[in-house]
Amino acid sequence: MVLKKHSSTIIFTIFLGFILFSYLIKFEPGIIIKDNFTSFTIGMLKVLPAAFILIGLFEVWVKKETIERHFGEDSGFKGFFWAIILASTTVGGTYVAFPVAYSLYQKGAKYSIIFTYIGASALTRIPMTLFEISFLGIKFTVIRLLTSIPLVILSSIWMGRYVEKRNFYFRK
């Protein structure tokens, strides 16, 4: 029981021990792992605090009625449109997309629209799209978006129906 309760701490301690041991014996893969871990942690510390502040403001400032009107059961196709627009402006990838999706869920958004938001946040972020255009060209990017967005919407509708059939509800 104690081992299960503190497993995260034990794993992190083993990781730190591995890193320290890698430096002592000059084990190159361990040093590279530490460098990657440090870089990743610094990157997350730059993005997450601001993102979570914005998510907190979203929780407080955006009314449940607004979310239900634009993303809820009666939103129709415009709900998918707004989900894609919101996902396009999301910064921080899935680290931010999932908390926003949870907030949408708690405020009454439809499952299929939440799934569309999560899928679109991986595909349509504006900085990523501009980066893709600069390397692969606008033709490739337009074809990718015109192919992937309808597939995201269709799969989201299917997953939403599946989840609703299973009565998967956790709203407060």
Whether the CB-CB separation of 89 and 126 falls below 8 Å is answered with yes
Residuewise pLDDT in 10s, the chain (172 residues): 556 677 888 999 999 999 999 999 999 999 999 999 999 999 888 888 888 898 889 889 989 999 999 999 888 899 999 999 999 988 777 778 898 999 999 999 999 999 999 999 989 988 889 999 999 999 999 999 999 999 999 999 999 999 988 877 665 5
Do residues 164 and 111 lie in contact, with contact meaning Cβ atoms separated by under 8 Å? yes
Angle at which helices 77-88 and 111-123 cross, to 10°? 30
**Is residue 13 helix, strand or coil?**
helix
Q: What tokens appear for 80 in the block?
A: 């998918």
Rounded to 10 degrees, what is the CA torsion of 45, 50, 53, 55? Answer: -100
pLDDT of residue 51: 83
Question: Nearest Cα to 116, choosing from 151, 80, 148?
Answer: 80
Write phi, then psi, for 158 (nearest 5 degrees). Answer: -60, -45
Annotated domain spans of the chain: 1-46, 62-172
Terminal C-alpha separation, the chain: 30
**For residue 14, what pLDDT is reported?**
93
State the pLDDT at residue 1: 53
Calpha distance 94→166 (Å, rounded): 25
